[in-house]
Amino acid sequence: MHRHGYKGRKFGRERDQRRALIKGLATSLVEHGKIETTLPKAKELVRYIEKLITKAKKGDLANRRAVIAGLSTQAAAFRLVDHIAPQLTGRTSGHVRVERTRLRLGDGAQMATIAFVDEISETPVKAVAPKAAPQKAAKKEETK
3-state secondary structure the chain: CCCCCCCCCCCCCCHHHHHHHHHHHHHHHHHHCEEEEEHHHHHHHHHHHHHHHHHHHHCCHHHHHHHHHHCCCHHHHHHHHHHHHHHHCCCCCCCEEEEEEEECCCCCCEEEEEEECCCCCCCCCCCCCCCHHHHHHHHHHHHC
| Residue-level pLDDT at 126 | 61
| Residue-level pLDDT at 83 | 96
For residue 91, the domain's CATH number is 3.90.1030.10
143/15: higher pLDDT: 15
Domain count of the fold of the chain: 1
Determine the average pLDDT of the residues in 94-117.
97
| Residue-level pLDDT at 2 | 86
Residue 141: is its pLDDT beyond 90?
no
Closest by Cα among 62, 49, 53 to 86:
53
- Residue 1 in any domain: the answer is no
- Residue 8 in any domain: the answer is no
| Residue-level pLDDT at 134 | 54
137/30: higher pLDDT: 30
- Residue 113 in any domain: the answer is yes
| Residue-level pLDDT at 131 | 52
Can you give the residue range of the structural domain that contains 107? Answer: 15-143
- Residue 2 in any domain: the answer is no
Determine the average pLDDT of the residues in 110-121.
95
Closest by Cα among 5, 24, 7 to 16:
24
- Residue 5 in any domain: the answer is no
Residue 138: is its pLDDT beyond 70?
no
- Residue 86 in any domain: the answer is yes
- Residue 6 in any domain: the answer is no
Measured distance CA(101)–CA(115) in Å, rounded: 13
How does pLDDT run across 17-39, given as a tens digit for each residue?
999 999 999 999 999 999 999 99
pTM: 0.83
